[in-house]
């Protein structure tokens, strides 16, 4: 990136900070206190999908973890540690797993396309593709990417729910709910994928209903 562009970033930052302080005096002083967000966002690293702006939340109101194609796997201590901190320390009430339509990582898995080192990460999405091969084959070709985006979110919601962090939290009666959403880069809107889990007993019925919903939508 050219140095002039980096200088612009600092200039924009100073202008933004000054505007925030004018409009909301004491805003940054309030941020120095312990953060207490109610929400955690697990999303894609895609630069077009910024959690705060999409949800209209201020800094300090949503705890964010992002990676390629919003994947949560049990060997990823980065993701699990972030979820554990959100649940055990911050006491978030809602965890949203948010995919987005047109996701490059999901598309690479759908097309079985090699992209490099990230192929090892995208393999997790390929597993989702293979698990739901029948559903995808019965989906119109131009709708398959959207369907796999949604299926990936649903599978990652389940991965969050069966983690030791969530099973322990629910076992002790903690009120925390996991949701699956998809974001439309083309229209800026969030879409509820109708998988909402608030306890270990609701994982399986919520999962089945969400998959059936995708099946019905793609007929």
In this structure, the answer to whether residues 133 and 43 fall within a common structural domain is yes
Is 103 one of the annotated active-site residues of the chain? yes
Among candidate residues 46, 65, 144, 161, the one labeled active-site is 46
Whether residue 126 is found in the same domain as residue 213: yes
Whether 17 and 51 share a structural domain: no
pLDDT digits (tens, 9 = 90+) for 185-209: 999 999 999 999 999 999 999 999 9
Instruction: State pLDDT tens for residues 51-69.
Output: 999 999 998 999 999 999 9
- Residue 1 lies in domain: 1-33
What is the structure's pLDDT at 209?
Answer: 95
**Catalytic pick from 65, 66, 103, 179?**
103
Contact 179/195 with Cβ under 8 angstroms? yes
Same structural domain, 161 and 102: yes
Question: Which among 66, 100, 124, 179 is annotated as catalytic?
Answer: 100
The active-site residue out of 44, 124, 132, 144 is: 44
46 carries an active-site annotation: yes
- Note if 161 is an active site residue: no
Instruction: Quote the number of domains for the chain.
Output: 2
- Kindly tell me if the per-residue pLDDT of 141 is higher than 80: yes
Question: What CATH number should be reported for the domain holding residue 195?
Answer: 3.40.1050.10
Q: How many CB atoms lie within 10 A of CB 99?
A: 31
Query: Which listed residue (12, 14, 48, 123) is catalytic?
Result: 48
Question: 58 and 9 share a domain?
Answer: no
């Amino acid at each position: 990136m050219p140095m002039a562009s980096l200088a612009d970033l600092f200039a924009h930052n100073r202008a933004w900070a000054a505007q925030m302080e004018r409009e909301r005096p004491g805003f940054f002083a309030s941020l120095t206190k312990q953060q207490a967000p109610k929400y955690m966002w697990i999303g894609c690293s895609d630069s077009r999908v910024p959690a705060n702006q999409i949800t209209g939340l201020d800094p300090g109101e949503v705890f964010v973890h992002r990676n390629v194609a919003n994947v949560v796997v049990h060997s990823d201590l980065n993701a699990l540690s972030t979820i554990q901190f959100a649940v055990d320390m911050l006491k978030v009430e809602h965890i949203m797993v948010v995919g987005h339509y047109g996701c490059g990582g999901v598309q690479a898995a759908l097309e079985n396309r090699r992209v490099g080192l990230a192929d090892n990460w995208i393999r997790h999405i390929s597993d989702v593709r293979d698990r739901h091969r029948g559903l995808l084959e019965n989906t119109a070709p131009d709708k398959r990417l959207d369907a796999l985006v949604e299926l990936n979110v649903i599978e990652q919601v389940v991965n969050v729910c069966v983690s030791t962090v969530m099973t322990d939290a629910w076992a002790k009666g903690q009120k925390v709910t996991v949701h699956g959403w998809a974001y439309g880069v083309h229209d800026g809107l969030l879409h509820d994928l109708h998988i909402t889990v608030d306890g270990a007993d609701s994982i399986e019925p919520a999962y089945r209903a969400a998959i059936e919903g995708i099946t019905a939508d793609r007929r």
